[in-house]
Structure 1
Amino acid sequence: MSLDPPTYLASLQSNIRQRPIPWDGAVRAGTLTDDQLARIRAVDKLKRDQRKQIVEADLDGYCLLFVGAPGKKSVLELAAKRQDVVQYILVLLNDLLDSIPALSKALLKAGNPYRHFLPLLAHSSNPDDPIPLLTSTVLVSLMAGSRDESPATVDKALPLIFSYLSSLTKNPDAGLQDIGVQEYSSLLYGSASRQQFWAQRSETVAPLIDILRAAAGVANGDASASLWSGTTTAARSGFEGSLGGGVGLQLLYHVLLVMWQLSFEAADVGEDLNDEYDIILLYTQLLRLSPKEKTTRLLISTLYNLLVANQNTLLPTAVLVRLPSLLQNLTGRQLTDQDLQEDLTKLRELLEEYTKTKTTFDEYVGEVNSGHLRWSPPHRNTVFWAENARKILEYENGELVRKLAEIMKKPWENDKAVLAIACNDIGCLVREVPEKRGQLERLGLKTRVMELMAEGDENVRWESLRALGGWLQYSFDTK
């Protein structure tokens, strides 16, 4: 999938192409050889088709120019001290790689081209130094053009390139962020590169999630809590400019494109993606705010890839965040994108088939397993607890109450309602199945409930008091 180059990068490359370089003086100074200059001049300032014809007729010669050979230094090695020449060569090589796929394959066959380029990624810590940025474009074009998945590419070069690109996505400059994200997209051409991208997710995926959370209008410090509690600040205004957090629509689209590419590995990464980043919740919120069909299409398609590959674990979360009702609303819109309509239909059918057979108990299990509680209908429904309290305690040998215990151990600084809801549920279990109080006490739940009586939040104190009342009511019973 070809994307227009980011404005900053295109402008930088254009300026470098137009700078005059005293080539003959450079040859006399030993910065490059006569043969190297002849090959540069043979393709300089020519149209794409002419360049392609010349380079394909002399692939060995151009490999020699750019990566050298035993006993013969490349032009980058000879010109290492001439920054203007290095910049020009990097721009020229990227232009050739973009238009001549055969050159990418030839360079990889010629040896190990990465040894010439990878050191240039660390050329300078100065963010204004263009050489690392230009080098990254060459490496991305080389890999994307050849679609190489050899160990030299995937195991050695790719991790270093991903690390460099992650520094761009973390940069506060939106232009540099967009360059990093677009280059990610070019690299995720196969399963091996996507798996490596995921393996480095603290560098690669996490900054993209930060951008998406900003677009959803939530601060990263309390992102999940804000989304779950429905306190997002994103507003559907200024669609032609940006969403919440100042995220431009172009950057948003490119981030969503990368995440969509990653979703083709959903069978391997889907559960962790949701556990670590609340991706189903985040995408549901973004879907509510999506201003364009092209962003909506990527959101829907990514959700479908994730859900269809992880039906047992992620479909309950999708129902919990009210995705089915949101899709129903989307269906009522006048959508013109055929692919979007088809993906929307498939996603709705998947969720409808799941919800047809699910009970309120299944919804409660899904909510607890999501790791985040909210005041959904079962919590206050006395009939629900009368019918299901024992089932909850016995579910998968007590796994559900162990999960409740894990939830209650957390402080939930940004969403105290979770603690209040958990206390409510524990109290209901004690009242409905008092003979199982020992099971709850062994998990530390009675102690935690008593601790929460000193909580600053009034609702948490009240619910913990009510829960403790269940124990006091049976305090003289035999456990």
Structure 2
Amino acid sequence: MAIDQAELSTEQVLTRDIPWETYMSTKLISGTSLQLLRRYDNRPESYRAQLLDDDGPAYVRVFVSILRDIFKEETVEYVLALIDEMLTANPKRARLFHDPSLASEDAYEPFLRLLWKGNWFIQEKSCKILALIVSARPKTHDGSFANDDASNSKNKNTTIDDVLDGLVKWLCAQLKNPSHPSRAVQTSINCLATLLKEPKVRSSFVQTDGVKLLIPLISPASTQQSIQLLYETCLCVWLLSYYEPAIEFLATSRTLPRLIDVVKSSTKEKVVRVIILTLRNLLHKGTFGAQMVGLGLPQIVQSLKSQAWSDEDLLEALNQLEEGLKDNIKKLSSFDKYKQEVLLGHLDWSPMHKDVNFWRENIMSFEENDLKILRVLITILDSSSDPRALAVACFDLSQFIQHHPAGRVIVTDLKAKERVMKLMNHENAEVTKYALLCIQRLFLGAKYASFLQA
């Protein structure tokens, strides 16, 4: 692909002179089409707007027939540029393609074919135009599209299902292997953010294995362009969060940690809003609630609530998410809750720490994942500056030593002793008290240290 074709602009293409008379003499366009084109070509936008208001469907018929019958690249580019300009000036003109007078025309077919045949300019314009036309289909009063069944019954025409499937395949192909280094992904996500409102597109996108192509794009953004790409990607995920088969895929991928990573660091209100709305949708599905608690979302929601957002939907969603997360925490087992506390580093004197039954019932659970929770507990002794967290960590280590058959050996092997001894000189009395208890248990065994537990 020549780079000059890739970087063509609509304005550049529209400066061309197209030999319409030659096309008429070779019977590729009719005399009526020639008259309409002469009236429209190289005219100011206000004049063209009036022509489209008066005779829009006739112009659409001419444009579609040229794209169907003429294959010269410069002419195809020119007509696509005319349509693009017409729809950019007023997207509602996409409805002209559905005018009853065009019922016998196959308005979709040329654009669908050009998605795969043309250079980047032709592909990009065809994609954008097709997405607008498809979205402008007439709707009935219940919100469904009026002419879908009718178009499906016309065998000679490209059906709406063909169009949506073809579009999704092309968009997924661009996300996998972009035709243009900087614009293909942006264009594809932009179109998907419009098209995924349709159940048929969601189904087709999941079947084409498209969901996994979105996940790498969910990462903190730095430039204005990448913020827009991130926003539209998250918009796609939000639309997919209403569709069960997509939710199953989101549950088994890295989507949730990535969304939480972005919402933690983003200052763009529209990005935060669409992610929070997505998380609210997913909260009660499968194991999402427990995963969100595990990834520290309750603390992040608290932090977001303290910021000055202007969007009422966002504030309401944050409140609903906070309540839902509280319900999830209540449902967790006591050891699950303990794990969340340790993994988040937010240790406090919640009842389980001093509950002998908790330690007796759960002591062997500490061996899971190569003693992961115990290792994190010991790391807190080095990393935390919160005296309460340090005191609780020392106390919990002393409990582990007391209740686990090999507690003293394990804690010694994990080099905890040196870290606890440093805390015996801490300025906070609570920290020194429980550091001393831990060391007593480590050296002397439980019975000699019991008097310190009070």
| TM-score, shorter chain, exceeding 0.5 | yes
Partner SS state of residue 19, structure 1: coil
Q: Using the alignment, how far apart are the partners of 2:358 and 2:12 within structure 1?
A: 69
Letter matched to residue 39 of structure 1: L
Task: Tell me what 1:92 maps to.
Answer: 82
Matched positions, count: 347
Find out whether 1:334 has 2:308 as its counterpart. Answer: yes
The one-letter code matched in structure 1 to 2:106 is: N
Q: Spell out, residue by residue over 1:52-72, the C-alpha distance to the aligned partner (whole angstroms, 9 max, x if none).
A: 5534544553453244xxxxx
User: Could you tell me the percent identity over the aligned residues?
Assistant: 25
Q: Determine which of 306, 322, 339 is the counterpart of 2:282.
A: 306
Does the residue aligned with 1:117 lie in a helix, a strand or coil? helix
- Within the candidate set 199, 202, 226, 1:248 is matched to 226
- Asked if 2 retains the 8 angstrom alpha-carbon contact of 1:36 and 1:75, the reply is no
Unaligned runs of 5+ residues in structure 1 are 1-7, 68-73, 217-238, 367-373, 393-403, 405-417, 425-431, 433-457, 460-479
Match of 1:106 among 99, 108, 123: 99
Q: What residue number does 1:322 align with?
A: 296
1:54 aligned to 2:36?
no
Q: Distance in 2 between matches of 1:53 and 1:195?
A: 40
The alignment's C-alpha RMSD in Å is 4.1
Cα shift at 1:269: 2.7
Distance 1:91 1:56 in 2: 19
Query: Is 1:39 matched with 2:47?
Result: no
1:319 shift after superposition: 0.9
Residue 180 (structure 1) aligns with: 188
Taking a change above 3 Å as real, the CA distance of residues 15 and 104 of structure 1, as seen in their structure-2 partners, is: same
CA displacement, residues 69-90 of structure 1 (integer Å, 9 cap, x when unaligned): xxxxx2123321x211111112
Q: In structure 1, how many angstroms separate the alpha carbons of the residues matched to 2:97 and 2:261?
A: 41
Query: 1:38 deviation in Å?
Result: 2.1
1:264 counterpart SS class: coil
1:305–1:40 distance in 2 versus 1, CA, 3 Å: farther
Whole-Å Cα distance in 1 between the matches of residues 202 and 6 of structure 2? 24
Picking from 57, 61, 79, the partner of 1:64 is 61
Identify the residue that residue 292 of structure 1 maps to in structure 2: 268
Structure-to-structure mapping, 1:384-395, within 5 angstroms:
384=358, 386-387=360-361
2:164 aligned partner? 158
Query: Any residues of structure 2 matched to 1:46-445 within 5 Å, and which?
Result: 51=48, 53-55=50-52, 57-58=54-55, 61-67=58-64, 74-80=65-71, 82-97=72-87, 98-106=91-99, 109-124=103-118, 128-146=119-137, 148=145, 149=148, 153=159, 155-170=161-176, 171=178, 173-200=181-208, 202=209, 204-213=210-219, 215=220, 239=222, 241=223, 248-265=226-243, 267-275=244-252, 277-308=253-284, 310=285, 312-361=286-335, 384=358, 386-387=360-361, 421=372
Asked if 2 retains the 8 angstrom alpha-carbon contact of 1:32 and 1:75, the reply is yes
Say if 1:34 and 1:288 are closer, same or farther in 2 by CA, change over 3 A: same
2:359 and 2:248 map into 1 onto residues whose CA distance is: 29
TM-score, length-normalised on structure 2? 0.64
**TM-score after normalising by structure 1:** 0.61
CA distance in 2, matches of 1:301, 1:10: 37
Inter-partner Cα distance in structure 1 for 2:182 and 2:15: 26
Deviations 1:422-476 (A, max 9, x none): 9x9xxxxxxx9xxxxxxxxxxxxxxxxxxxxxxxxx99xxxxxxxxxxxxxxxxx
Structure 1 residues 263, 50: CA separation in 2 closer, same or farther (over 3 Å shift)? Answer: farther
Asked if the contact 1:76/1:86 (under 8 Å) is kept, the reply is yes
Amino acid of the structure 1 residue aligned with 2:199? S
Distance 2:39 2:337 in 1: 68
Mean Cα deviation higher: 341-350 or 351-360: 351-360
Q: SS of 1:174's equivalent?
A: coil
Q: Find the structure with the greater CA-based Rg.
A: 2
